[in-house]
Homo-oligomer: A and B are copies of this chain.
Amino acid sequence: MTATALPLVPRSKDAQDAVCCAPIARRPLSEGEAAELAVLLKAVADPVRLRLLSMIGSHAGGEACVCDLTEAFELTAPTISHHLKVLRTAGRIGSERRGTWVYYWIIPDHVARLGTLFTPLADPAHA
């Protein structure tokens, strides 16, 4: 996965508005940062992928097999597989084949990373 220089809440920021803003609003994003972030966000900015992510994450045991997911949509299996691949490539989910079925699970850190960008100081040490 990429993960070069994501603006992950620089603790010692001398921001004039240290309280008001989400990390994204503390300092201007560089071109590279923005490009990388856009890729991450694009991977989630789709109704089907959003539901897939949600279904996988909320499924019992923390993982779901493709067979469960395909049923929930009125889409063909290749389409679902395509969306899963997008999420996997973006590092959002992991997958493993166990016998007949393929199981998918969420990688929480990567999902949470999105949140930290827009969340204004949800730091427990700060609240």
Contact of A65 among B5, B50, B103, B112 (CB under 8 A): B5
C-alpha spacing A98/B6, complex, angstroms = 12
C-alpha spacing A6/B11, complex, angstroms = 32
Assuming the contacts A24-B50, A47-B35, asked whether A120 and B127 have C-beta atoms less than 8 A apart, the reply is: no
Flag if B101 contacts A22 (CB, 8 Å).
no
C-alpha spacing A26/B56, complex, angstroms = 10
Q: Identify the closest chain B residue to A37 (Cβ).
A: B50
Assuming the contacts A2-B71, A41-B44, A68-B3, asked whether A22 and B98 have C-beta atoms less than 8 A apart, the reply is: no
Query: Which residues of the partner chain B approach A65 to less than 8 Å between Cβ atoms?
Result: 3, 5
Q: Identify the closest chain B residue to A40 (Cβ).
A: B45
Flag if A20 contacts B59 (CB, 8 Å).
no
Interface set, chain A 17-36, CB cutoff 8 A to B: 17, 20-22, 24-29, 31, 34-35
Q: What are the 9 A-B residue pairs with the smallest beta carbon separation, nearest first? A: A7-B61, A25-B57, A115-B119, A115-B118, A41-B45, A45-B45, A114-B118, A29-B54, A34-B47
